């Protein structure tokens, strides 16, 4: 297990191109749109610029962790998953190790957007809140890493890329990462609260406000994480069963 985890970390470090994309996109979007809200506006219990900072940090983090799905589909196509299948590693350990590596791709966007918010809008947070923001958003990206793996293990490379993009776009919009949920119609606001993306961003909003994660938010994230873990494990076993 440890050797496989180290191997995957080395592979990630050798290919920083996707991390560059997932950092630049949310930073540029934040720079362009963060000046639109009024100075005194508040969203999700914090200042509007801080709320947008967290939303776009989550947007970049989710883009990073979901992007692994397309790479996994390529690995599946060339037979790499079959090689893993004949090792003593249980399927769930393979999935868990890969998911852990996936979540690390979500850290650079959070750091980059946070630094942009600090420089551009002088968002003042204590060291403890910055640390809590980074840690909670790293941990909160786990369900999206598992979703990306489920897509990558279950679909071919071309289809996986398309489904990945649709899942990313749909969850980003519906979860309020791009447009604040406060602007949604009432029905969509209730639906947004049940999405993993809203609850993911909620971790960041509450960290900025100096609050602990809400029990309801953690329960929703835990439920989605369990579902995506089961799907990823099933897809991994199915993708290698007949090879």
The structural domains of the chain, with segments of one domain joined by +, span 2-241
Report pTM.
0.84
Residue 85 burial (10 A CB sphere; 0-12, 13-18, 19+): middle
Per residue in 84-111, pLDDT (tens digit) is 665 666 666 777 777 887 888 888 899 9
pLDDT digits (tens, 9 = 90+) for 13-67: 566 656 667 788 889 888 888 776 655 678 888 888 899 999 999 999 998 888 8
- Count Cβ atoms below 10 Å from residue 9 Cβ, excluding itself: 14
């Amino acid at each position: 297990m440890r050797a496989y985890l180290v191997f995957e970390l080395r592979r990630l470090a050798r290919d920083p191109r996707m991390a560059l994309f997932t950092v630049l996109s949310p930073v540029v979007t934040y720079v362009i749109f963060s000046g639109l809200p009024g100075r005194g506006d508040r969203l999700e219990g914090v200042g509007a610029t801080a709320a947008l900072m967290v939303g776009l940090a989550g947007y970049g983090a989710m883009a990073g962790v979901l992007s692994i799905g397309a790479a996994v589909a390529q690995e599946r196509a060339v037979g790499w998953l079959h090689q893993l299948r004949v090792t003593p590693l249980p399927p769930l350990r393979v999935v868990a190790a890969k998911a852990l590596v996936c979540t690390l791709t979500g850290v650079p966007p959070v750091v980059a957007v946070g630094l942009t918010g600090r420089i551009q809008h002088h968002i003042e947070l204590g060291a403890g809140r910055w640390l809590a923001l980074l840690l909670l958003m790293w941990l909160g990206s786990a369900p999206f890493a598992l979703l990306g793996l489920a897509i990558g293990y279950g679909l071919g490379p071309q289809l996986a890329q398309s489904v990945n993009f649709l899942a990313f776009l749909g969850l980003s919009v519906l979860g309020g990462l791009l447009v604040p949920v406060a602007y949604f119609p009432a029905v969509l606001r209730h639906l947004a609260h049940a999405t993993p993306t809203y609850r993911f961003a909620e971790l960041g909003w509450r960290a900025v406000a100096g609050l602990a994660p809400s029990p309801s938010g953690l329960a929703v994230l835990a439920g989605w994480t369990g579902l995506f873990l089961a799907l990823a494990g099933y897809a991994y076993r199915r993708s290698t069963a007949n090879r």
